[in-house]
């Protein structure tokens, strides 16, 4: 089993920044893909970004390219999501997830482990 605990959400004005953290524990995730997804009220869960722990290769949704950055801290077993130039449409609950599969890194249904979610609210 893998446990994921997110932190770092909050309220920020448009144009501001937040950094989300996702601490992983339990089974090693060093061969996993780690992703961030978000879900706004009344909308489906959507892919935001992901990274392969073994290679460091990253993936981004078009809507966040150039504004969001995903990174890893091996020593802390933690994944970060740095969010800059935030927009009101970024408002959502953000979820960290772990994918043990080699494929489907941008598809939420390939992820086996999920954090509890953290609320990000961007005011205009």
Other CB atoms within a 10 A radius of the CB of residue 56 amount to 10
Looking at the chain, the whole-number percentage of residues with pLDDT higher than 90 is 90
Bridge partners, 118 (sequence order): 94
**What's the CA angle centered on 12, arms 119 and 16, to 5 degrees?**
125
Whether the pLDDT of residue 27 is over 90: the answer is no
**Tens of pLDDT along 45-100?**
999 999 999 999 999 999 999 999 999 999 999 999 999 999 999 999 999 999 99
pLDDT at position 94: 98
Q: Which of 13-17, 92-96, 106-110 has the lowest mean pLDDT?
A: 106-110
Looking at the chain, the whole-number percentage of residues with pLDDT higher than 70 is 100
């Amino acid at each position: 089993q893998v446990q994921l605990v997110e932190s770092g959400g909050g309220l920020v004005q448009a144009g501001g920044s937040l950094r989300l953290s996702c601490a992983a524990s339990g089974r090693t995730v060093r061969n996993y893909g780690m992703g961030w997804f978000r879900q706004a009220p009344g909308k489906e869960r959507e892919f935001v970004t992901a990274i392969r722990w073994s290679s460091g290769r990253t993936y981004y949704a078009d809507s966040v390219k150039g504004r969001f950055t995903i990174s890893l801290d091996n020593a802390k077993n933690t994944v970060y999501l740095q969010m800059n130039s935030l927009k009101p449409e970024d408002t959502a609950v953000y979820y960290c997830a772990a994918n043990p599969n080699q494929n489907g890194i941008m598809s939420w249904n390939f992820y086996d482990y999920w954090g509890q979610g953290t609320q990000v609210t961007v005011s205009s």
